[in-house]
Amino acid sequence: MPAGRYAPSPTGALHLGNLRTAIVAWLAARATDRTFLLRVEDLDRVRAGAEAAQLAELAAVGLDWDAEPVRQSERTGLYDDAVAALRAAHGADAVYECFCSRKDIAEATSAPHPAPADDEGAPGPAGAAPLRPPGFYPGTCRGLTEAQRAERRRVRPAALRIDAARVAGLPEGEIPRAEAVDLLHGEVTGLVDDLVLRRNDGAYAYNLAVVVDDLAQGVDQVVRGDDLLDSAPRQRWLAAALCAARGEALPQTSYLHVPLVLNAEGRRLAKRDGAVTLEDLAAADPSWTPERVRDRLLSSLGLPPGPPADAVPAFARMLEDGSLPREPWVFDPAEFAGA
């Protein structure tokens, strides 16, 4: 069954920005008759007790989910299988060991590098980018021999990268171009370098894990903050590559990257901005109950107060007529300082 999802990282209490995005994700799933799933993205930093606290916070503002939450830390076998599928489809070296540090990459990509040109001096084939942007992986470890890899393993552990050009059927060194369509932002185009699939600490990278999990869970509606908009094309590309390697159809995915909640300085809201979690707001002023916070978040979206289910019809109309909020909501500490 088609599904939407919310996928927090258990690093601490959810703040108003997290809760607002969760409410939008829930409303989007309910308004489009999708299952709503909860996924705990715990491959990275995890704070003890944070997962249980976050689930309680989501329930406190009236959200529910249609299956037991899954944890990425328990799904390593799925990520292993994905890497194996890419190698089986494109050759063992389609996923290769990389020993570069961030400093190495920054120094190697301090200036753009032209992509190979054809005999007429024209840029490379369609679908490839003509320039390598600063910060994109330059392919340093792509062609290492086994002896060179063995030597480097003695110095530092290896990450795993995907050879994007090879998987895309482009000449070596070309950069594939990918697209994703977002309900608010339209068609978003991005470049795909040799993405890290597994970090050198052994943990699978976010880009791979989220793609594998969305495919496995039937997620075809992705709602998250617009700070992740740039990642949509590369994740769409990786999903297409993985589906092709497995002989599966690529699902049509609906993306909705929603404006963030910002602080007074125009930066993304964070816990350092003060009383921005349910717990801290209630401690500063007991009148800020979870229900009152929920109603304020709904109001910031142009939706009526009350249980989230009551806002589903209005949200569905917003989806239909394209009237979803397109500007960030600025958190005003003064509003939450008193009753």
Percentage of the chain beyond pLDDT 70 is: 92
What does pTM read for this prediction?
A: 0.90
- Contacts of 131-134 with C-beta under 8 Å, sequence gap 24+, read 132/175, 132/193, 133/109, 133/191, 134/109, 134/110
**pLDDT score at 293:** 97
Summarize pLDDT for 234-275 with one digit per residue, the tens: 999 999 999 999 999 999 999 999 999 999 889 999 888 888
Give dist(CA 5, CA 39) in Å, integer. 7
- Helix (H), strand (E), coil (C) string for 237-256: HHHHHHHHHHCCCCCCCEEE
User: What average pLDDT does range 31-54 have in this prediction?
Assistant: 93
**pLDDT score at 337:** 77
Give dist(CA 304, CA 122) in Å, integer. 56
Summarize pLDDT for 193-205 with one digit per residue, the tens: 999 999 999 999 9
Give dist(CA 308, CA 62) in Å, integer. 6
Give dist(CA 147, CA 152) in Å, integer. 9
Domains of the chain, residue spans: 3-73+259-330, 76-251
**pLDDT score at 222:** 98
Residue type, 208: L
Edge-to-edge strand list for the sheet holding 3-6: 70-71, 35-40, 3-6, 219-225, 254-258, 177-182, 186-191
Indicate if the pLDDT at residue 120 is higher than 50: no
- Of 45-59, 80-94, 105-119, 188-202, the poorest mean pLDDT is in 105-119
CATH code at 3-73+259-330: 3.40.50.620
For residue 126, the surrounding DSSP H or E stretch is: none
User: What average pLDDT does range 104-108 have in this prediction?
Assistant: 78
**pLDDT score at 126:** 46
User: What average pLDDT does range 298-324 have in this prediction?
Assistant: 96
User: What average pLDDT does range 317-334 have in this prediction?
Assistant: 93
**pLDDT score at 127:** 53
> Is there a common fold for 3-73+259-330 and 76-251?
yes
Does the 76-251 domain belong in CATH 3.40.50.620? yes
Indicate if the pLDDT at residue 152 is higher than 80: yes
User: What average pLDDT does range 2-23 have in this prediction?
Assistant: 96
**pLDDT score at 108:** 73
Average pLDDT, the chain: 91
**pLDDT score at 1:** 83
User: What average pLDDT does range 110-136 have in this prediction?
Assistant: 49
